[in-house]
Structure 1
Protein backbone atom coordinates (compact mmCIF):
# COMPACT_ATOMS: atom_id res chain seq x y z
CA UNK A 1 0.00 0.00 0.00
CA UNK A 2 1.14 3.54 -0.70
CA UNK A 3 -0.08 6.75 0.91
CA UNK A 4 -0.92 9.63 -1.41
CA UNK A 5 -1.19 13.22 -0.17
CA UNK A 6 -2.60 16.25 -1.98
CA UNK A 7 -1.79 19.85 -1.06
CA UNK A 8 -3.03 23.36 -1.78
CA UNK A 9 -5.23 23.93 -4.77
CA UNK A 10 -4.98 20.26 -5.79
CA UNK A 11 -6.52 19.22 -2.47
CA UNK A 12 -9.37 21.66 -3.07
CA UNK A 13 -9.96 20.65 -6.69
CA UNK A 14 -9.86 16.93 -5.91
CA UNK A 15 -11.82 17.38 -2.67
CA UNK A 16 -9.38 14.90 -1.15
CA UNK A 17 -6.46 15.45 1.23
CA UNK A 18 -5.09 11.92 1.21
CA UNK A 19 -5.81 8.33 0.28
CA UNK A 20 -4.26 4.92 0.61
CA UNK A 21 -3.83 2.89 -2.55
CA UNK A 22 -3.21 -0.84 -2.75
CA UNK A 23 -0.10 -1.02 -4.85
CA UNK A 24 2.25 -3.96 -4.94
CA UNK A 25 5.49 -4.21 -6.84
CA UNK A 26 7.72 -1.50 -8.22
CA UNK A 27 6.35 1.11 -10.60
CA UNK A 28 6.63 4.84 -11.28
CA UNK A 29 4.70 7.93 -10.26
CA UNK A 30 3.30 7.98 -13.82
CA UNK A 31 1.80 4.53 -13.19
CA UNK A 32 0.15 5.77 -9.99
CA UNK A 33 -1.25 8.84 -11.76
CA UNK A 34 -2.57 6.65 -14.57
CA UNK A 35 -4.31 4.41 -12.05
CA UNK A 36 -5.95 7.47 -10.46
CA UNK A 37 -6.96 8.92 -13.84
CA UNK A 38 -8.78 5.68 -14.59
CA UNK A 39 -11.04 6.44 -11.60
CA UNK A 40 -12.65 9.35 -13.40
CA UNK A 41 -12.46 12.90 -14.67
CA UNK A 42 -12.14 14.42 -11.19
CA UNK A 43 -8.50 13.22 -11.11
CA UNK A 44 -7.55 15.08 -14.33
CA UNK A 45 -5.68 17.87 -12.42
CA UNK A 46 -2.92 15.34 -11.64
CA UNK A 47 -2.08 15.17 -15.34
CA UNK A 48 -1.39 18.89 -15.65
CA UNK A 49 2.17 19.79 -16.64
CA UNK A 50 2.90 22.06 -13.69
CA UNK A 51 2.05 19.62 -10.88
CA UNK A 52 4.98 18.83 -8.57
CA UNK A 53 5.53 15.46 -6.93
CA UNK A 54 7.58 14.13 -4.02
CA UNK A 55 8.25 10.53 -3.08
CA UNK A 56 9.13 10.00 0.56
CA UNK A 57 9.59 13.76 1.13
CA UNK A 58 11.95 14.25 -1.82
CA UNK A 59 10.85 16.29 -4.86
CA UNK A 60 11.29 14.12 -7.95
CA UNK A 61 10.23 13.59 -11.55
CA UNK A 62 7.19 11.61 -12.57
CA UNK A 63 9.44 8.75 -13.70
CA UNK A 64 10.60 8.18 -10.10
CA UNK A 65 10.20 4.66 -8.75
CA UNK A 66 7.39 3.93 -6.29
CA UNK A 67 7.39 0.86 -4.06
CA UNK A 68 4.98 -0.61 -1.57
CA UNK A 69 5.08 1.47 1.65
CA UNK A 70 6.12 4.73 -0.06
CA UNK A 71 4.44 8.09 0.39
CA UNK A 72 3.68 10.25 -2.64
CA UNK A 73 2.73 13.91 -2.34
CA UNK A 74 1.32 16.07 -5.12
CA UNK A 75 1.66 19.86 -5.01
CA UNK A 76 0.29 22.67 -7.18
CA UNK A 77 2.87 24.86 -8.90
CA UNK A 78 4.83 27.09 -6.55
CA UNK A 79 4.37 30.80 -7.09
CA UNK A 80 5.73 33.74 -5.24
CA UNK A 81 5.81 37.42 -5.27
Structure 2
Protein backbone atom coordinates (compact mmCIF):
# COMPACT_ATOMS: atom_id res chain seq x y z
CA UNK A 1 0.00 0.00 0.00
CA UNK A 2 1.37 3.41 -0.97
CA UNK A 3 0.02 6.52 0.79
CA UNK A 4 1.08 10.12 0.18
CA UNK A 5 1.30 11.97 3.49
CA UNK A 6 1.38 15.77 3.68
CA UNK A 7 2.11 17.95 6.72
CA UNK A 8 1.08 21.59 7.06
CA UNK A 9 1.99 24.63 9.19
CA UNK A 10 3.36 23.84 12.66
CA UNK A 11 3.01 20.09 12.03
CA UNK A 12 5.42 20.42 9.10
CA UNK A 13 7.81 22.46 11.24
CA UNK A 14 7.65 20.04 14.15
CA UNK A 15 8.33 16.97 12.00
CA UNK A 16 10.80 18.70 9.68
CA UNK A 17 9.13 17.45 6.52
CA UNK A 18 6.34 18.61 4.23
CA UNK A 19 5.57 15.33 2.53
CA UNK A 20 6.47 11.67 2.36
CA UNK A 21 5.25 8.53 0.71
CA UNK A 22 4.84 5.52 2.95
CA UNK A 23 4.52 1.94 1.83
CA UNK A 24 3.16 -0.53 4.32
CA UNK A 25 0.67 -3.35 4.47
CA UNK A 26 0.20 -2.59 8.21
CA UNK A 27 -1.71 0.66 7.61
CA UNK A 28 -5.46 0.49 8.09
CA UNK A 29 -6.58 4.00 9.04
CA UNK A 30 -5.58 7.65 9.51
CA UNK A 31 -4.14 7.02 12.99
CA UNK A 32 -1.89 4.28 11.57
CA UNK A 33 -0.60 6.70 8.92
CA UNK A 34 0.30 9.27 11.60
CA UNK A 35 1.93 6.66 13.82
CA UNK A 36 4.17 5.41 11.01
CA UNK A 37 5.05 8.93 9.83
CA UNK A 38 5.54 10.68 13.17
CA UNK A 39 6.56 7.70 15.31
CA UNK A 40 4.14 8.79 18.04
CA UNK A 41 0.45 8.53 18.91
CA UNK A 42 -1.96 10.84 17.09
CA UNK A 43 -2.59 14.00 19.20
CA UNK A 44 -6.25 14.61 20.07
CA UNK A 45 -6.34 18.10 18.58
CA UNK A 46 -4.65 17.30 15.26
CA UNK A 47 -6.83 17.59 12.17
CA UNK A 48 -6.63 15.15 9.29
CA UNK A 49 -7.99 14.85 5.78
CA UNK A 50 -8.14 11.95 3.37
CA UNK A 51 -8.24 12.97 -0.27
CA UNK A 52 -9.04 16.56 0.76
CA UNK A 53 -12.01 15.69 2.99
CA UNK A 54 -11.91 15.93 6.79
CA UNK A 55 -11.34 12.53 8.35
CA UNK A 56 -11.50 10.92 11.76
CA UNK A 57 -8.57 8.91 13.13
CA UNK A 58 -10.42 5.63 12.54
CA UNK A 59 -11.25 6.39 8.89
CA UNK A 60 -9.90 3.64 6.64
CA UNK A 61 -7.25 4.49 4.06
CA UNK A 62 -6.61 2.75 0.78
CA UNK A 63 -3.73 2.36 -1.61
CA UNK A 64 -3.15 5.63 -3.47
CA UNK A 65 -4.87 7.87 -0.89
CA UNK A 66 -3.47 11.21 0.19
CA UNK A 67 -3.58 11.87 3.93
CA UNK A 68 -2.90 15.37 5.26
CA UNK A 69 -2.30 16.51 8.84
CA UNK A 70 -2.58 20.06 10.11
CA UNK A 71 -2.99 21.91 13.40
CA UNK A 72 -6.36 23.15 14.67
CA UNK A 73 -7.75 25.90 12.45
CA UNK A 74 -8.06 28.34 15.37
CA UNK A 75 -4.49 27.71 16.43
CA UNK A 76 -3.06 25.82 19.30
CA UNK A 77 0.00 23.83 20.09
CA UNK A 78 0.58 20.16 19.48
TM > 0.5 = yes
Secondary structure, in 3 states, of the residue corresponding to 1:35?
A: helix
Deviation of 1:47 (Å) = 2.1
Deviation of 1:33 (Å) = 2.2
C-alpha spacing 1:25/1:67, structure 2 compared with 1 (3 Å): farther
Is the radius of gyration larger for structure 1 or structure 2?
Answer: 1
CA RMSD of aligned residues (A): 2.0
User: Are 1:47 and 2:42 an aligned pair?
Assistant: yes
Q: TM-score, length-normalised on structure 1?
A: 0.79
Alignment of 1:10-49 (within 5 A): 10-24=11-25, 27-38=28-39, 44=40, 47-49=42-44
Is the contact between residue 45 and residue 72 of structure 2 (CA under 8 Å) also seen in structure 1? yes
Secondary structure, in 3 states, of the residue corresponding to 1:33?
A: helix
5+ long unaligned stretches in structure 1: 39-43
Segments ≥4 residues shifted beyond 4 Å = none
Is the contact between residue 25 and residue 68 of structure 1 (CA under 8 Å) also seen in structure 2? no
More helix by share: 1
5+ long unaligned stretches in structure 2: none
